[in-house]
Amino acid sequence: MSAKIIAIANQKGGVGKTTSAINIAHILSETNKVLLIDDDPQGNCTKCFTIDRIAPESDTITLYSDSPSETVAPLVVTDTLALLGTHIHLAAVAERTYEVVFDFKSRLLSLRDHYDYIVIDCPPNFGYLLNAALISADFILVPIELDIFALDGLRDLIQSIERTRKRHNPTLKVAGIVANKVHGQKTRIEKEIEAELHHIYSKLLLDTQITLSVKIPESHASSKAVTDHAPNSQQALQYRRLVDELITRMIAMGSHA
Ligand SMILES: Nc1ncnc2c1ncn2[C@@H]1O[C@H](COP(=O)(O)OP(=O)(O)O)[C@@H](O)[C@H]1O
Ligand SMILES: [Mg+2]
């Protein structure tokens, strides 16, 4: 077993990184062993996943340590799903030296043999925490909203991914861009942005889109994946379709050996 590492990244907040990380990890864990890593000091992913909202025993900060005495012990959520949770102290990692990103990578790679997939929920800004995920991942999934800021944000992120690929992670691939919070009946602006994205990133834009629904915030409030909270909702089906599309893409792109 050697896990495929998927980072859910976009330096813009509120686009659905955490929602996607939770749901993708949850769906993958129905048939695979999955580790979900909360790499955002806000800890939203951790709060959504720990039913009783108790902090996990071992957290993501341990991945940024080079001290052998700090062991990485993810919280067991189910037989097939583990979580490295986090809290606001993760932000202090950015005050250490840049080398912490390499500590993250080597620690993460040492966990690889225990899982089929490792899913990383990234923070909403550029910096060490996002860099660590980018230098470690095999694939990036980019959730976006179809608004006018999406294009600028995407350009900056793709540039950052290109730089990471050149310097530190030559096999890093963008598995796809997924539009989230899309209105059931697309607005004129959404249609225009979608057309523009097709034009610029045709190969990267995924067919699956996640529509806007109160089922998503409700699922977070009940500490559940939407597939558990509302199994027959459109969003549950869309997330299942997204995982299928993602897997097909990763295979087609030639997953890592
Ligand atoms: N498809 C959706 N429909 C409705 N609300 C959504 C949807 N996706 C995300 N949200 C809500 O938007 C907010 C931001 O989502 P989140 O996944 O936390 O984004 P990020 O991690 O990128 O900041 C949350 O309150 C979440 O419940
Ligand atoms: Mg988030």
Mutate to test the pocket of ligand 1, among 8, 17, 19 (most ligand atoms within 8 A of CB): 19
- DSSP letter assigned to residue 83: E
Write down the pLDDT at residue 71.
Answer: 87
CA of 122 to the centre of ligand 2 (A): 7
pTM for the whole structure: 0.97
Residues of the chain with pLDDT under 50: 256-257
Write down the pLDDT at residue 95.
Answer: 87
Ligand nearest to the CA of 178: 1
Atom of ligand 1 nearest to the CA of 180: 1
Write down the pLDDT at residue 57.
Answer: 62
Digit-coded pLDDT (tens) for 24-46: 999 999 999 999 999 999 999 99
Helix H, strand E, coil C: the string for 33-75 is: CEEEEECCCCCHHHHHHCCCCCCCCCEHHHHHCCCCCCCCCCE
Write down the pLDDT at residue 51.
Answer: 56
Residues with CB under 5 A from ligand 2 (ion): 17-18, 44
CA of 237 to the centre of ligand 1 (A): 17
Which CATH class, in words, describes the domain spanning 4-252?
alpha beta
Q: Quickly list H helices, 71-148.
A: 100-111, 128-136
Question: 191: which 2 tokens?
Answer: 């249609």
Write down the pLDDT at residue 130.
Answer: 98
Question: 103: which 2 tokens?
Answer: 């500590």
Residue ranges per structural domain of the chain: 4-252
Write down the pLDDT at residue 54.
Answer: 56
Write down the pLDDT at residue 256.
Answer: 47
Residue 184, CA distances (Å) to 142, 150, 191, 212 in order: 21, 19, 12, 7
Ligand 1 shell residues, CB under 6 Å: 13-19, 44, 124, 180-181, 210, 212-213, 216-217, 220, 235
